[in-house]
Structure 1
């Protein structure tokens, strides 16, 4: 029985587990000993720059490719393919039959997972209406925009109401309107009780959606935890505005304080801001403005994986 960090993977608390996954292509270790534990009913993000090993990791978890080392379970099954009818998968490489109508494309994907054709068509019509695509129910896929086709393929991935939904870079190529639709659909599926596992290299989606996340780079897991825990790897920044500009007050501020216009910026001290404020007020510098800014997930990501590795994310 697989055990990771003292926790039993066969426990129904986990939708997906992985221990020491390794995959080599020729002489390169694309995935290098990754551990994951995805709680049931959570939205879990696998984050990393382009080429980090995200897609390869997801494919191993799903049983599409076999790991060279390590073990994994999917919905309690040691062999991922035994759980395939309970999984919905949207691969990074999109693909629909262009001559199919939107409703039939969704029903067809459901039929591949054991859903009856009539029920698949009924659900497809409802889902297209709810996604704002009711006008495209009988439109052939070849006539749909890229964003609309991507939403259709996503609906086909979840029409059979799977327990686990795996999405590989689902937001890639979508305009802001369709990104919002996709985010709403992901949340709705989680609220239905499904577990969502998705990969991305764009931090904004993960910051809004994820209950937990893993950050990988160079085929290794660099971080695992909540968004707040990731952000907590960097200290908060303080921006202080005195009542009167005075270079002499620098002696009362932390050593890393630097001037910004008529104010100062510095790292929030371990003891909090109160001792600094007491000194400033006692010296009659006063407080015209004060903000404490927590770092975002983007900044934490760059810190965790390294600026060079994060270049792909920053450009996205």
Structure 2
């Protein structure tokens, strides 16, 4: 893949995951997976259990090595010095349970190259921002799971990273904490930091991300903006006619009925379908409370792509 270059020949600030492949024995975890995250962009990586999301993130961080492919930042292969500038939040939390929150965060910040005074100031700022300032002197093990999650995010942010890679950062958080973390990720992206995270909360991914990639069996099946992905899905017609009996639309030309529940019918229309004929048929059953075209949500699109038997994770 050629470097993305700006005017004057400068290489764009972009994290590139280029044709990564990885096998564990007979299991193919990743196969030729490629995507890019530009500076200031939030990229959501979604897929079923075992799809390869965590493996890809671990390769970016150098936790494991790829069998093939390359990870680049600003057009240069990612090495140890670059990885020190990445903020990483693993799915399996990596905090020391019997170490105090502030002491631990300062230690991690210094490992990434910060001075002691800068680390101390950063810990104060991030624990305050993430709502755990009053727990700075507590051992991590004494915190609730939600507060441990907040401290883990602070650990990814405390050294002022250039890149954020977060594996299931919203897992176990209450709605207030989700809002706090979402605001933090938007703010970091607003400063030019590329953010890539995985999540099984697809409604949250849909609201938060600039672009989304769907991974299945180690392959990137599709990637793009949420609007672009939804536009590629089939358009549906939703008809809410409370008095309509099941089957009221079955014989209408060009109409495929997908489900009918509590007076709400979900249809797709062929080229020969007439929406006015459908409306008249619905009105013939009684009042119509809703008659609207809609594109599938990201959750519905995901289920269509990966199949109903695969669990989201």
Q: Which TM-score band (shorter chain)? A: 0.7 to 0.9
What's 1:135 paired with?
Answer: 134
- Structure 1 match to 2:59: 60
Residue 85 (structure 1) aligns with? 84
Tell me whether 1:151 sits opposite 2:150 in the alignment. Answer: yes
Q: CA RMSD in A?
A: 3.1
Aligned to 1:110: 109
Conservation of the 8 A alpha-carbon contact between 1:213 and 1:227:
yes
User: Does structure 1 conserve the Cα–Cα contact (< 8 Å) formed by 2:255 and 2:269?
Assistant: no
Cα offsets for 1:115-167 (capped at 9, x unmatched):
11111111211221222222112222232222212211211211121110111
Deviates more, 1:215-224 or 1:278-287: 278-287
CA deviation profile, 1:267-299 (whole Å, cap 9, x unmatched):
15569x9x5227856999597331223311111
Corresponding residue number in structure 1 for 2:295: 294
Q: CA deviation at 1:262?
A: 5.5
- 8 Å contact 1:43–1:210 — kept in the other structure? yes
**Number of residues of Structure 1 aligned to a counterpart in Structure 2:** 307
Larger deviation, residues 54-63 vs 233-242 = 233-242
Once residues 132 and 187 of structure 2 are traced to their aligned partners in structure 1, the CA distance between those partners, rounded to angstroms, is 17
Unaligned runs of 5+ in 2: none
For the 8 Å contact 2:46–2:199, the answer to whether it is kept is yes
Counterpart for residue 201 of structure 1? 200
Say if 2:244 and 2:282, in contact at 8 Å, map to a contact too: no
- Indicate conservation of the 8 Å contact 1:14/1:37, yes or no: no
Cα 1:256–1:152 shift into 2, 3 Å: same
More deviation in 155-164 or 100-109?
Answer: 100-109
- SS for the counterpart of 1:267 is strand
| 2:194 maps to 1:181 | no
Check 1:209–1:282 CA distance in 2 against 1; reply closer, same or farther (3 A cut). closer
Residues 260 and 99 of structure 1: is their aligned pair in 2 closer, same or farther, counting only changes over 3 Å? closer
Structure 1 pair 190/259, CA: closer, same or farther in 2 (3 Å)?
closer
Equivalent residue, structure 2, for 1:24: 23
Partner in structure 2 of residue 256 of structure 1: 256
SS in structure 2 at match of 1:41: coil
Structure 1: give runs of 5+ residues left out of the alignment: none
Whether the 8 Å CA contact 1:109–1:156 is kept in 2: the answer is yes
Aligned partners of 1:103 and 1:137 also within 8 Å:
yes
User: 1:233-266 CA deviation, whole Å, 9 max, x = no partner?
Assistant: 3223212357996988765553314765666531
Inter-CA distance 294–181: structure 2 relative to 1 (3 Å threshold): same
Q: Is the 8 A contact 2:242 2:263 kept in 1?
A: no
Q: Give TM-score, length-normalised by structure 1.
A: 0.84
Q: 1:251 to 1:133 in 2, by over 3 A?
A: same
Calculate the TM-score normalised by the size of structure 2: 0.85
Asked if the contact 1:97/1:141 (under 8 Å) is kept, the reply is yes
